[in-house]
Amino acid sequence: MDLDQPIKNVILQAIRECHTDVPVLEQLEEHGGWILKKGNDYKFFFLKNDNTGTVRAQMLFSANKKSVGDGPLKAIVKEGWSNFATFHTHPQFSINPSSIDWNLLFQNSKYNFIYSPATDQLSCSARNGGDDENQTWVMTVWDVVNNDFVKTNAVVDIRLSDEIPYRIHEEATQAT
């Protein structure tokens, strides 16, 4: 996919709220939220991580249900916004999604962004059709340079069952 300026702006905001502006100790934890869209406008909702304050939060972002209900769901129901993408950080891992990301977080959204401050890269895993068994995704990767996004060559077609690229992250997740 390509990022136009309104999407770049909302992702830069998400990076600030989920990484740059959080206290240093909490920067070790994963943070995230939802990006909503209305016309050509985008809005980011920071969501509390259910695991925050535990070691698990360094390896897993699970959006707190109450903050989903109070924030983006309310905007969808009452203000006519629609769900555009998920966003979360991987402070200690690469921009590759974990198997939990695929199986839970990504299932309700076509676009799913991950930012890794460790490598200063952004990925977007986009659902590309197919049924559950044969679902395919396209992952696009950008280097984050001076508040801009430079697409790398790492645009990969992924079958959902192909977990080999994600094994390292998955092992780390299971170690908790």
Stretch that binds Zn ion, among 46-54, 95-103, 118-126, 146-154 (CB under 5 A): 95-103
Q: Does 29 bind Zn ion (CB under 5 A)?
A: no
Stretch that binds Zn ion, among 11-19, 96-104, 119-127, 139-147 (CB under 5 A): 96-104
Output 77 or 104, the one with its CB closest to Zn ion.
Answer: 104
Q: Does 101 bind Zn ion (CB under 5 A)?
A: yes
Calpha distance 111→132 (Å, rounded): 16
Question: In the window 107-166, what residues touch Zn ion (CB under 5 A)?
Answer: none
**Closest of 143, 68, 70 to residue 109, by C-alpha:** 68
Output 75 or 101, the one with its CB closest to Zn ion.
Answer: 101
Annotate 5-58 with three-state secondary structure: HHHHHHHHHHHHHHHHCCCHHHHHCCCEEEEEEECCEEEEEEECECCCCCHHHH
The footprint of Zn ion (CB under 5 A) covers 98, 101
